Structure 1
């Protein structure tokens, strides 16, 4: 083992503001791969008076306490210890933590922080060997497009008034762009948004700084939202058909942009030929009885009652598919031309899938053998494109699926959107009152980070809102200052950011369907201050590798104030926010921290209005600042 020398990163990380005496991050130079092991570095504060320092590993599921070697005095009062971490050859995941023995006690460090006792395995640092999420993902800024409401690029493919009946909801309506949504029958109202319209606005998206798109479902469906698919093999003609998707993806790839499609494989429409509830398809669907060739594609609670099919959360219009059926497996995953594979191949070449209600997919009802089904979908994606992005939708805690072997990342509601909602909007996902202090906010974030390998954390899709939630600006009562704080955190916290269409212009809207209004392309109606803020923060992220793939460390979390660092071997950024809407805030990062900063270079303000003087940060009300300490 060769010793490492003190670096600006080590200096900065003497962030005694967090009160930690043991520090480790899963980036170089603190974690460096070498053949069949990793060189692991721990920083230890000399005030701890350590007698023994161990790296705890489980290469064969048994405890090994590996003595660590003091390699340098480090920066300031910090000592650097190293050891070789052996990998677990029996499984992809290797776990480890640290144990420090003093004269009369001990202290442990895992991914959740320090502990006076041996930590739980699920909170250990994790390395997943041989399975890595796509390298391109952390570099992106995603933009979610609800296609029907984004832009009308080809009026010739618009829905005709009364073209068909949407089940019992009545005939479809063709409405002028921007007319208010009718909350009584929102799924029958078509405004004309299409894929040609998305393609026509790529210049706009790039001017904002967007590099990747996530599209809500585009396949043939009777509804506006298209989560009730009746034909997986064709893009809806009202969106421009297959040729429009091919033209869009080709243009995007020529521009260096990426694109995800929405995979709705857990359920289909009751108008799909496989089910054919309404008799509108030329098929003998499962609804017609047991003699249907598709009967076993679904699960009926009462074989003698066709209306007893198992549905997604009881919604009769979207019966759940039995993905244990060999024909469905072949159709979606296994066959060379399976749906998952087909749209990732020419002429479309999409870069991955966002999978709807991924935790509910299974063999039969109740998500039976969920991991097996997801493994089959992952295999189809990676065989078609090893760098394909496999993204899962989870509204709640998702770490069971984000350990590296299944999803590359998840829509990070639980690990970002929900704690941020409680911290800034003071409510939970059910719109109940929920207020968090900065300490509680930091604890929630730390808890979720500790349970996921860091490479996966960097590929979690962070978001403020989506088509399934009220717009965040509305939740904030249109407080521009708080919305800007949210955008700062979206662009700087570990994970890949995703903007819901129109958030950057100040679009408002309550819960579904009012969060799905038409994008207003009249710039006179935009919040230009907010738009420029998004553009500025996106540019900062794209110009700063440390914000894309750097380590994370909380420096201050108290009351309304939250400060953290993102850093790699070359660069360090400090991000600070003040949540208070009516008073400035001063935050001292402690003398030890300032002593380290004196070796890390000068504070250079990149964005915001913060003032730093000898490690004491002052921010105005709803103020923020990002500094470069490189």
Structure 2
């Protein structure tokens, strides 16, 4: 019996959307294991008799509760109406229309069907194509490299000393310029900088002047030199835009402090009570969190809006900037972000707009605001399995599938996939200092769709708990770097960049009875197929992979396992926290391969 309560579809969001200017993706949810097959029956609402078709939907994901089905439709006249035919193994068939469930197909085909009215090109969410190929590197400017000691702030400590929330070490833009070859050798082609504009703190999230680089880092001209040098090396550049709040030395806020309600800038902020004060840790004005030095800007005010839009446009145009990472984006009104997108895309249609949102971000990802968000749900799933080891491989696969089903495909393709940052414990520390465990998490990150981001220093073994220890100075002495780990990062990044299948949407998890911490998955496209086995357990294990249609033509492209390849069986002996990455022979069609693992 088909469980109708579990069946779900609606027009829009992640269920029915334009993937590109000629293709509509249509999805359906059913109870897991309850429906054997789904047919999508679709056609033109103005001439169904002449233009209609029925196509089998693909089950593209499954989690603990549901199966998710998808079909790609290319409507000849840019519009499509449709319904679903659900088939159960025992023979029951249910027809699902917008107006409900029925035991027979509809007779009146213009009434009650799901209706995608028109595929308007302007409605298609199109993140920049370059992001699909990007491997990001996050730089915390104060701690990455010192290139010009004359810029050191007063009291700056010796490089590499013990950090604190208030210490300065003198990192600057010249230091980044001096070490761009490190990024190139690592394989990086996009950089995200934490804030560079004038501020009082070492993290610079308390902006005092949005139009000038902080003197500690250099000058506007030096930033332009850096961006040009990055572009010459094929590296895109994102700056951090802090538009939710400013710093306490931002001139309009200083004016409010001095003149109170009479200030012409009084409505630039959210003042709850005059005079401005802080009582029991709570300011009388809205701030980021309860931080008095970070007053919240009123982006509903036309002057504030005009000012911030000009800031966004200026740096995109002045530097040839490739995009903005937008801080605390979920606390700014949607109307502002819609205008911000319009203005930035006018200045650079290829700019990447990345919002900092740590929860379900679908409301910001409909093509009218951000191209992507920092993918913290992905981060938490990966860390829960590899680092914290709170879940097993089955739960991990189900959680990834739930996320894949929750967003349109182009959103997933442009997602910013990070494992740590200046706001979190470093990955190596989360893994208890276990480098092999860390490598497993990085392998999944670098063989998943979306844009991976590496936090500076992870590649050479930097560790650290929460702030300030996750913001240590970068180690530039090769003798103190983990060169083996660096070689691992270089190899995996190069493999990802060389193989489109490792960046695309083709993904299938294989379950292994009796080995709950062994993650096995395939990555594939029309040309290539990869098999990855990640042993997230300290105990060694041996796995037999049987492949029909390949005659054993596989090659090891990056493993620390012992691999034996016979006619139709691959024996993989994985050490504790070991991995194997296998590539099928390109001489064989992907669809001819059937894999079973035991």
Quick check: TM above 0.5?
Answer: yes
Residue number among 210, 215, 220 corresponding to 1:242 in the alignment: 220
Q: Which residue number in structure 2 is paired with residue 536 of structure 1?
A: 491
| Cα distance change, pair 256–510 in 1 and its aligned pair in 2 (3 A) | same
Q: Which residue number in structure 2 is paired with residue 406 of structure 1?
A: 369
Instruction: Measure the CA separation in 2 of the matches of 1:33 and 1:447.
Output: 19
Q: Which residue number in structure 2 is paired with residue 204 of structure 1?
A: 182
Instruction: Output one character per residue of 1:341-368: Cα deviation in whole Å (capped at 9) or x when no partner.
Output: 111113x11100011111111xxxxxxx
What is the total number of aligned residue pairs between the two structures? 516
Residue number among 314, 324, 327 corresponding to 2:290 in the alignment: 314
| Cα distance change, pair 442–37 in 1 and its aligned pair in 2 (3 A) | closer
Q: Which residue number in structure 2 is paired with residue 11 of structure 1?
A: none
Q: Which residue number in structure 2 is paired with residue 342 of structure 1?
A: 314
Superposed displacement of residue 495, structure 1: 1.2
Residue number among 210, 220, 226 corresponding to 1:232 in the alignment: 210
Instruction: Measure the CA separation in 1 of the matches of 2:83 and 2:553.
Output: 35
Instruction: Measure the CA separation in 2 of the matches of 1:513 and 1:95.
Output: 55
Q: Secondary structure at the match of 1:239?
A: coil
Instruction: Measure the CA separation in 2 of the matches of 1:52 and 1:137.
Output: 33
> Contact (CA 8 Å) 1:585, 1:620: kept in 2 or not?
yes
Instruction: Measure the CA separation in 1 of the matches of 2:581 and 2:120.
Output: 30
| Cα distance change, pair 49–95 in 1 and its aligned pair in 2 (3 A) | closer
Q: Which residue number in structure 2 is paired with residue 145 of structure 1?
A: 139
Matching of residue 421 in structure 1 with residue 408 in structure 2: no
Q: Which residue number in structure 2 is paired with residue 280 of structure 1?
A: none
Superposed displacement of residue 130, structure 1: 2.8
| Cα distance change, pair 390–419 in 1 and its aligned pair in 2 (3 A) | same
Residue number among 379, 382, 385 corresponding to 2:348 in the alignment: 385
Q: Secondary structure at the match of 1:313?
A: coil
Q: Which has the higher contact order (CA 8 A, sep 6+)?
A: 1
> Contact (CA 8 Å) 2:524, 2:530: kept in 1 or not?
yes
Instruction: Measure the CA separation in 1 of the matches of 2:245 and 2:445.
Output: 31
Superposed displacement of residue 568, structure 1: 1.7
CA-based RMSD of the aligned residues comes to 3.5
| Cα distance change, pair 523–87 in 1 and its aligned pair in 2 (3 A) | farther
Q: Which residue number in structure 2 is paired with residue 174 of structure 1?
A: 156
Superposed displacement of residue 207, structure 1: 0.8
Q: Which residue number in structure 2 is paired with residue 301 of structure 1?
A: 272
Q: Which residue number in structure 1 is paired with residue 400 of structure 2?
A: 445
Residue number among 252, 256, 259 corresponding to 1:288 in the alignment: 259
| Cα distance change, pair 134–87 in 1 and its aligned pair in 2 (3 A) | farther
Superposed displacement of residue 288, structure 1: 3.3
What TM-score results when the alignment is normalised by the length of structure 1? 0.75
Q: Which residue number in structure 2 is paired with residue 548 of structure 1?
A: 503
| Cα distance change, pair 82–245 in 1 and its aligned pair in 2 (3 A) | closer
Superposed displacement of residue 332, structure 1: 1.2
> Contact (CA 8 Å) 1:58, 1:96: kept in 2 or not?
no
Superposed displacement of residue 512, structure 1: 0.7
Instruction: Output one character per residue of 1:25-67: Cα deviation in whole Å (capped at 9) or x when no partner.
Output: xxxxxx999975559999xxxx99989833479999xxxx975
| Cα distance change, pair 37–94 in 1 and its aligned pair in 2 (3 A) | farther
> Contact (CA 8 Å) 2:230, 2:236: kept in 1 or not?
yes
> Contact (CA 8 Å) 1:88, 1:94: kept in 2 or not?
no
Residue number among 363, 374, 381 corresponding to 2:337 in the alignment: 374
> Contact (CA 8 Å) 2:42, 2:54: kept in 1 or not?
no
Q: Which residue number in structure 1 is paired with residue 148 of structure 2?
A: 154
Residue number among 228, 232, 251 corresponding to 2:229 in the alignment: 251
Q: Which residue number in structure 2 is paired with residue 195 of structure 1?
A: 173
Instruction: Measure the CA separation in 1 of the matches of 2:213 and 2:387.
Output: 38
Q: Which residue number in structure 2 is paired with residue 6 of structure 1?
A: none
> Contact (CA 8 Å) 1:220, 1:237: kept in 2 or not?
yes
Q: Which residue number in structure 2 is paired with residue 619 of structure 1?
A: 574
Instruction: Measure the CA separation in 2 of the matches of 1:272 and 1:563.
Output: 52
Structure 1 residues 82-121: aligned runs within 5 Å: 84-86=73-75, 99-100=86-87, 104-105=91-92
Where do 5+ consecutive residues of structure 1 fail to align?
Answer: 1-30, 72-80, 110-120, 161-172, 277-283, 362-369, 427-433
Residue number among 34, 40, 59 corresponding to 1:54 in the alignment: 40
Instruction: Measure the CA separation in 2 of the matches of 1:491 and 1:618.
Output: 23
| Cα distance change, pair 478–57 in 1 and its aligned pair in 2 (3 A) | farther
Q: Which residue number in structure 1 is paired with residue 527 of structure 2?
A: 570
> Contact (CA 8 Å) 1:66, 1:83: kept in 2 or not?
no
> Contact (CA 8 Å) 1:40, 1:85: kept in 2 or not?
no
Instruction: Output one character per residue of 1:368-398: Cα deviation in whole Å (capped at 9) or x when no partner.
Output: xx22221111112211111100111122332
Q: Secondary structure at the match of 1:507?
A: coil
Superposed displacement of residue 253, structure 1: 0.9
Instruction: Measure the CA separation in 1 of the matches of 2:178 and 2:386.
Output: 35
> Contact (CA 8 Å) 1:458, 1:495: kept in 2 or not?
yes
Instruction: Output one character per residue of 1:271-313: Cα deviation in whole Å (capped at 9) or x when no partner.
Output: 111112xxxxxxx235530111111001111244455111111
Instruction: Measure the CA separation in 2 of the matches of 1:512 and 1:108.
Output: 55
Q: Which residue number in structure 2 is paired with residue 270 of structure 1?
A: 248
